[in-house]
């Protein structure tokens, strides 16, 4: 019976035969019943002699007694194991033929041998039952009996045959001499002693161990050690049950090696595929960037070239008068505008590629905001946009690059102006210090056309733009996002189509800004 079944159901035992052996057995069991913890209990004794020693002792202990062992089949007794306490083959054969299927039967010869082994009766060890030896030798697993002194006192035939030993080479020798071919006990190093595990944990131990056979070859074994306890709590014997799992272990190791090789090969293939995909992505991005840049720069360059050629033609055809000079001034203004447009495109590309070096310093965000508004004041006036500020006077400084921080607000203000260029509007910028979160929050709000939901999630992607063709390459907000992240901050957008948009920017004030050097 397994340990789990022992714990879940009591083994109720009926003894058939009330002779002296029965009396001795009952007396021995009840002498240490407080330590008897394997889930078995003697509940009844059967013998036609009402004065037999076993019947008399059973009555004294309050056990059920019957004259006919067939009465023990009664379900009321709940007996599930019968033990023949007398050497009567006829009785054994009758019980075997008539007992219910749920009741197991243990022959007298087997039980006497097992009991005498457990109780350390030397006479039982000397008079081993041939029947028990046949059963044990017929088991393919290795079975050994080992003393607390590590001496092997019994071994089955399977062990001798498969390990290449004779009984004389094993019986009386220590387990470490036989299993490991070492003169001292397995107490340290790489060799694990399962007996020590049993002693330390006071329960059976199961391990996979390496051992050597008769020829010195290393083998793998699945070893289970069961302790047999004496009355005083000391270990009487160790019963070892083991099996050779070398072939299984070798197969598992071979499978593991193959799997590792397959994983390595697959990993290599994935890395190569990943590298190809990255290369393709880089080339695709480079192509997209090149096309966008060429388009955006080509337009103003073409305009400037046309204006230069026009001026050269005018100069070549006629002398310059007041009208021509004024016309030239307008042409120069247009050329300046287009040249600045090229400069902005190049600046955004440079910032996006993160090639520019910055110098960290203490920066007052209010001053950066006011400077950005001042630089855009003429643009706001032309487009009919009103500006309003609500800046926290007690705003602490943050660590960062003033030029890059100004680029953030220049972009946000410029975008807001473009969103309101058709009908004017109002731009509001406010700053606040959140002492609890140790961060500065800046809100830039416009009353422009707003941003649709499907565009909000892509707003900070490189090359994504909602502007009309020719208005930009979609790098402005991507640059803004990168600068804010470098300063340890964050940015998010709240917007509805037709109701304007609010960009909310946060910066830490605990010194977690960018780590930049000259």
Residue 123 has pLDDT above 60, yes or no: no
Residue 361 has pLDDT above 90, yes or no: no
Distance CA 147, CA 142 (A): 16
For the chain, give the mean pLDDT.
79
Lowest mean pLDDT among 176-180, 235-239, 292-296: 292-296
Q: What is the CATH number of domain 251-352?
A: 1.10.287.130
Please give the sequence-ordered ranges of beta strands (E in DSSP) within 457-515, or none if there are none.
490-495, 501-508
Residue 93 has pLDDT above 90, yes or no: yes
Residue 500 has pLDDT above 80, yes or no: yes
What is the mean pLDDT of the segment spanning 163-192?
Answer: 77
Half-sphere exposure of 391 (CA within 13 A, CB side): 15
Most confident listed range (50-54, 108-112, 162-166) = 50-54
Lowest mean pLDDT among 137-146, 294-303, 322-331: 294-303
Locate 93 and state its tokens: 């054969």
Sheet with 218-229: list strands edge to edge.
152-155, 142-146, 235-244, 218-229, 205-212
Q: How many CB atoms lie within 10 A of CB 232?
A: 8
At residue 99, the pLDDT reads 92
pLDDT band at 164 (very low <50, low <70, confident <90, very high): confident
> Counting every residue, how long is the chain?
518
Confirm if 78 and 12 have CB atoms less than 8 A apart.
Answer: yes
Distance CA 376, CA 446 (A): 15
At residue 7, the pLDDT reads 45
Contacts of 296 (CB under 8 A, 6+ apart): 345, 470, 472, 473
Confirm if 208 and 192 have CB atoms less than 8 A apart.
Answer: no
Q: Which of 460, 462, 518, 453 is nearest to 484 (CA)?
A: 460
Q: What is the CATH number of domain 138-244?
A: 3.30.450.20
CATH class of 3-106: alpha beta
pLDDT band at 466 (very low <50, low <70, confident <90, very high): low
Residue 6 has pLDDT above 60, yes or no: no
Report which of residues 217 and 259 the model is more confident about: 259
| Contacts within 8 Å (CB) and 24+ apart, 226-232 | 227/198, 227/199, 227/202, 227/203, 228/118, 229/35, 230/120, 231/31, 231/32, 231/35
At residue 452, the pLDDT reads 80
Locate 398 and state its tokens: 């943050």
Q: Which of 361, 344, 348 is nearest to 518 (CA)?
A: 361
Distance CA 268, CA 262 (A): 10
Residue 296 has pLDDT above 60, yes or no: no
Residue 319 has pLDDT above 70, yes or no: no
Contacts of 192 (CB under 8 A, 6+ apart): 186, 207, 209
pLDDT in tens, 388-401: 999 998 899 998 88
What is the domain partition of the chain in residue ranges? 3-106, 138-244, 251-352, 361-508
pLDDT in tens, 179-194: 877 777 776 556 678 8
| Contacts within 8 Å (CB) and 24+ apart, 337-340 | 338/300, 338/301, 338/303, 338/304, 339/300, 339/304
Helix (H) or strand (E) holding 16: strand 11-16
Locate 424 and state its tokens: 């004017």
Number of H helices, E strands in the chain: 18, 17
Residue 462 has pLDDT above 90, yes or no: no
Report which of residues 121 and 298 the model is more confident about: 298
At residue 176, the pLDDT reads 78
What is the mean pLDDT of the segment spanning 311-329?
Answer: 73
**β-strand partners of 501:** 446, 495
Confirm if 332 and 304 have CB atoms less than 8 A apart.
Answer: no
Report which of residues 5 and 397 the model is more confident about: 397
Distance CA 65, CA 270 (A): 77
CATH class of 361-508: alpha beta
What is the mean pLDDT of the segment spanning 277-284?
Answer: 62
At residue 126, the pLDDT reads 47
pLDDT in tens, 40-77: 889 999 999 999 999 999 999 999 999 999 999 999 99
At residue 506, the pLDDT reads 94
Residue 292 has pLDDT above 60, yes or no: no
- Residue for token digits 């004017």? 424
**β-strand partners of 151:** 174
pLDDT in tens, 126-157: 455 555 566 666 677 888 888 888 888 888 88
Please give the sequence-ordered ranges of beta strands (E in DSSP) within 171-317, or none if there are none.
205-212, 218-229, 235-244
**β-strand partners of 206:** 224
At residue 13, the pLDDT reads 92
DSSP 8-state assignment for residue 515? -
Report which of residues 508 and 403 the model is more confident about: 508
At residue 220, the pLDDT reads 83
pLDDT band at 318 (very low <50, low <70, confident <90, very high): low
Locate 233 and state its tokens: 């709590």
What is the mean pLDDT of the segment spanning 80-94?
Answer: 92
pLDDT in tens, 435-450: 888 899 999 999 888 8
Confirm if 28 and 57 have CB atoms less than 8 A apart.
Answer: no
pLDDT band at 82 (very low <50, low <70, confident <90, very high): very high
Distance CA 18, CA 24 (A): 10
At residue 419, the pLDDT reads 81
Residue 90 has pLDDT above 80, yes or no: yes
One fold for both 3-106 and 361-508? no
- Residue for token digits 């247009």? 334
């Amino acid at each position: 019976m397994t340990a789990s079944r022992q714990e879940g159901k009591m083994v109720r035992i009926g003894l058939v035969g009330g002779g002296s052996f029965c009396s001795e057995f009952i007396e021995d069991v009840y002498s240490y019943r407080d330590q008897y913890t394997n889930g078995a209990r003697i509940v009844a004794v059967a013998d036609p002699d009402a004065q037999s020693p076993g019947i008399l002792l059973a009555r004294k202990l309050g056990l059920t007694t019957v004259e006919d062992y067939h009465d023990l089949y009664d379900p009321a007794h709940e007996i599930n194991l019968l033990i023949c306490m007398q050497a009567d083959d006829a009785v054994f054969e009758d019980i075997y033929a008539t007992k219910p299927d749920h009741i197991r039967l243990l022959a007298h010869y087997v039980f006497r041998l097992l009991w005498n082994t457990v109780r350390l009766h030397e006479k039982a060890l000397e008079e081993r039952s041939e029947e028990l030896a046949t059963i044990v030798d017929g088991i393919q697993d290795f079975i050994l009996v080992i003393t607390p002194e590590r001496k092997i006192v019994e071994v089955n035939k399977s062990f001798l045959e498969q390990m290449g030993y004779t009984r004389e080479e094993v019986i009386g020798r220590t387990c470490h001499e036989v299993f490991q071919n070492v003169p001292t006990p397995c107490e340290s190093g790489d060799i694990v002693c399962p007996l020590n595990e049993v002693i330390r944990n006071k329960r059976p131990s199961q391990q996979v161990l390496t051992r050597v056979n008769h020829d010195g070859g290393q083998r793998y074994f699945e070893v289970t050690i069961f302790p047999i306890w004496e009355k005083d709590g000391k270990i009487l014997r160790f019963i070892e049950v083991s099996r050779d799992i070398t072939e299984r272990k070798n197969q598992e190791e071979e499978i593991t090696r193959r799997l590792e090789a397959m994983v390595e090969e697959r990993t290599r293939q994935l890395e190569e595929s990943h590298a190809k995909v990255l290369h393709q992505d880089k080339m695709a991005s480079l192509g997209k960037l090149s096309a966008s840049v060429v388009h955006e720069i080509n337009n103003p360059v073409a305009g400037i070239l046309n204006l230069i050629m026009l001026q050269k033609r005018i100069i070549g055809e006629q002398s310059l008068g007041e009208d021509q000079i004024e016309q030239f001034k307008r042409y120069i203004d247009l050329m300046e505008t287009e040249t600045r447009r090229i400069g902005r495109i190049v600046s955004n590309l440079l910032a996006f590629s993160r090639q520019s070096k910055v110098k960290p310093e203490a920066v007052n965000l209010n001053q950066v905001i006011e400077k950005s508004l001042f630089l855009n004041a003429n643009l706001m006036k032309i487009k009919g946009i009103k500006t309003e500020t609500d800046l926290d006077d007690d705003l602490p400084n943050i660590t960062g690059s003033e030029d890059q921080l100004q680029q953030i607000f220049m972009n946000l203000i410029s975008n807001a102006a473009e969103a309101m260029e058709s009908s004017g509007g109002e731009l509001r910028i406010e700053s606040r210090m959140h002492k609890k979160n140790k961060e500065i929050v800046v809100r830039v709000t416009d009353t422009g056309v707003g941003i649709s939901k499907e565009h909000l999630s892509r707003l900070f992607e490189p090359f994504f733009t909602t502007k009309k063709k020719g208005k930009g390459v979609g790098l402005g907000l991507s640059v803004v996002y990168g600068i804010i992240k470098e300063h340890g901050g964050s940015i998010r957008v709240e917007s509805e189509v037709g109701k304007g948009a609010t960009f909310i920017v946060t910066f830490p004030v605990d010194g977690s800004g960018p780590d930049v050097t000259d």
